[in-house]
């Protein structure tokens, strides 16, 4: 087992990893940028090393500085969290060539699954359903127009290297396809240094349903059931829950087995997420595989009782999964809401700055994952998420009641947050009745502002 690990991340996920490591008896080393000197992850770790200035390229994305910190601190392994370098196969390769274990899957499976075009082709070979679309990447306009006419508009143009909703454009006709293709390519080139794009049918009334998988380096791999992340804004998740409230048992089995099939075909180990879109008939189509721990992992932890972060660490150290598929049970219903420092009344404009009062809720059925506290200054340089509030109760209705109560208790001032928006969504008739799709929140917000 490892005796010391470095966490190459910040914010709530760094805190989450430090807690998991400490409970396993592993020492932790935090890294931080000058903007994060006051962050809770710096205080909670056994040791903290400043790696540079606030710009991510100078700190959390700077591989040489992170490796130097790891060497100075003499760590056995690095946990990358999510975002930043978590899905960077080159970083995983550098870690391992420096004899530092990368807490994640193999470089080969990261490369294979991280390329969405290659991933889709692997899915097709393994009879995992995918949305109709281009066979591989699309490089010129004529080819794009032909694919779009074959599958029918609307279509979505997506970046092969995509992530965080970047490099995506929806096209409803030839004209918007031409324009969208150029924009998507430019955005993908800028964000990922790779302009490769592909096209698929744009599913209008879909739900986002994803399957958590967890594997070890001895060929064992299980699923931890699904999460529903249909409540999104601009392809960014706002609310995540498990189980998916509209999925019947036969389709659940089919979906989870497909996810396991794909992960096994990629020789996957560690924690991963296989993301699908699901239509009203519960037909599902693969979107992508995320080769890391997800923001929304806590709902699965509460539902199944499996500690995903600890298991990631154990399997990275070469241990076998301590359970088989038959041991994984689920109980009740869990829902997470993301609390971001943005103003929902003003186009979700970021609201960085000092939090004078941070008073999170507690009580039965409530979990709060956060790095924030009273006096904490939210830096303007990073993702705006300041906390995750998660409720776990025997039924969905009870989990929603707990979230309503917890959101009413949650006091954050003076900065604006998504707390009032979540309080409203927890009373929204369509959300309560499960009558939503991935565009629901955007339609709701548009109607409010018009």
Question: With binding defined as CB under 6 A, does residue 275 bind ligand ADP?
Answer: yes
Catalytic sites, residue numbers: 292
Q: What residues have CB less than 8 Å from 74, skipping those under 6 apart?
A: 4
36 binds ligand ADP (CB under 6 A): no
Peptide bond before residue 154 is cis, with ω within 30 degrees of 0: yes
> In this complex, which beta carbon is closest to ligand ADP, that of residue 316 or of residue 444?
444
Burial of 329 (0-12, 13-18, 19+ CB in 10 A): exposed
**With binding defined as CB under 6 A, does residue 277 bind ligand ADP?**
yes
Instruction: Tell me the DSSP string of 213-224.
Output: EEE-TTS-EEEE
Q: Which stretch binds ligand ADP (CB under 6 A): 55-63, 156-164, 322-330, 344-352?
A: 156-164
Among positions 162, 180, 344, 379, the unique one binding ligand ADP when judged by CB under 6 A: 162
For ligand ADP, the binding residues in 117-136 under the rule CB under 6 A are: 131
The stretch near ligand ADP (CB under 6 A) out of 184-192, 198-206, 348-356, 441-449 is: 198-206
Question: Where in 229-268 is the site for ligand ADP (CB under 6 A)?
Answer: 232, 235
Q: Which is nearer to ligand ADP, 24 or 118 (CB)?
A: 118
Distance between CA atoms of residues 315 and 303, nearest Å = 21
At its nearest, how many Å lie between ligand ADP and the CB of residue 59? Answer: 23
- How many chain residues touch ligand ADP (CB under 6 A)? 21
Closest to ligand ADP by CB, 278 vs 316, is 278
Beta strands in 42-100 (DSSP E): 47-52, 77-79
What are the helix and strand counts (H, E) for the chain? 15, 22
Distance of alpha carbon 255 from alpha carbon 259, whole angstroms: 6
DSSP assignments along 330-394, one per residue:
--SEEEEEEEESEETTTTTEE--EE-SEEE---STTEEEEES--TT-EE-TTS--EEEEEEEEES
Per CB under 6 A, the segment of 5-13, 69-77, 203-211, 322-330 that binds ligand ADP is 203-211
DSSP reduced 3-state for 231: strand
Applying CB under 6 A, among 165, 305, 318, 394 the residue interacting with ligand ADP is 165
Binding site for ligand ADP (CB under 6 A): 131, 156, 162-166, 168, 200-203, 206, 208, 232, 235, 275, 277, 287-288, 438
């Amino acid at each position: 087992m490892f005796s010391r690990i470095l966490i190459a991340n910040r914010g709530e996920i760094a805190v989450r990893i430090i807690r998991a490591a400490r409970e396993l008896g592993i020492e932790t080393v935090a890294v931080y940028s000058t903007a994060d000197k006051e962050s809770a992850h710096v205080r909670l770790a056994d040791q903290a090393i400043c790696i540079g200035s606030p710009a991510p390229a100078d700190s959390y994305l700077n591989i040489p500085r992170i490796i130097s910190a790891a060497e100075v601190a003499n760590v056995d392994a690095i946990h990358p969290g999510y975002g930043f370098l978590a899905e960077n196969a080159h970083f995983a390769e550098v870690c391992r060539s420096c004899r530092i274990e990368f807490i994640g899957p193999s470089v080969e499976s990261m490369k294979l699954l991280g390329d969405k075009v290659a991933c889709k082709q692997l899915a097709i070979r393994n009879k995992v359903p995918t949305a109709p679309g281009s066979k591989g990447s699309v490089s010129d306009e004529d080819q794009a127009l032909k694919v779009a006419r074959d599958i029918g508009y609307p279509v979505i143009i997506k970046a092969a290297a995509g992530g965080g909703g970047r490099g995506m454009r929806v096209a409803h006709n030839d004209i918007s396809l031409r324009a969208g293709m150029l924009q998507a390519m430019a955005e993908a080139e800028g964000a990922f240094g790779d302009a490769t794009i592909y096209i698929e049918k744009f599913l209008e009334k879909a739900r986002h349903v994803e399957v958590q998988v967890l594997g070890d380096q001895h060929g064992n791999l299980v699923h931890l059931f699904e999460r529903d992340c249909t409540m999104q804004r601009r392809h960014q998740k706002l609310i995540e829950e498990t189980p998916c409230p509209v999925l019947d048992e036969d389709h659940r089995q089919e979906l989870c087995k497909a996810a396991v099939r794909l992960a096994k075909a990629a020789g996957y180990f560690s924690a991963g997420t296989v993301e699908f879109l699901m239509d009203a008939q519960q037909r599902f189509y693969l979107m992508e595989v995320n080769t890391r721990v997800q923001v929304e992992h806590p709902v699965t932890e509460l539902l199944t009782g499996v500690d995903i972060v600890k298991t990631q660490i154990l399997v990275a150290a070469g241990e076998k999964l301590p359970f088989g598929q038959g041991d994984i049970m689920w109980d009740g219903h869990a829902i997470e809401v993301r609390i971001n420092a943005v103003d929902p009344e003003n186009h979700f404009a970021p609201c960085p700055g000092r939090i004078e009062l941070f008073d999170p809720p507690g009580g039965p059925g409530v979990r709060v994952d956060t790095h924030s506290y009273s006096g904490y200054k939210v830096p303007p340089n990073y993702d705006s998420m300041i906390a995750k509030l998660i409720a776990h109760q025997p039924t969905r209705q009870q989990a929603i009641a707990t979230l309503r109560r917890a959101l009413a208790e949650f006091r954050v001032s003076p900065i604006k947050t998504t707390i009032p928006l979540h309080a409203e969504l927890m009373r929204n008739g369509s959300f309560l009745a499960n009558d939503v799709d991935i565009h629901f929140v955007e339609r709701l917000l548009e109607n409010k502002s018009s």
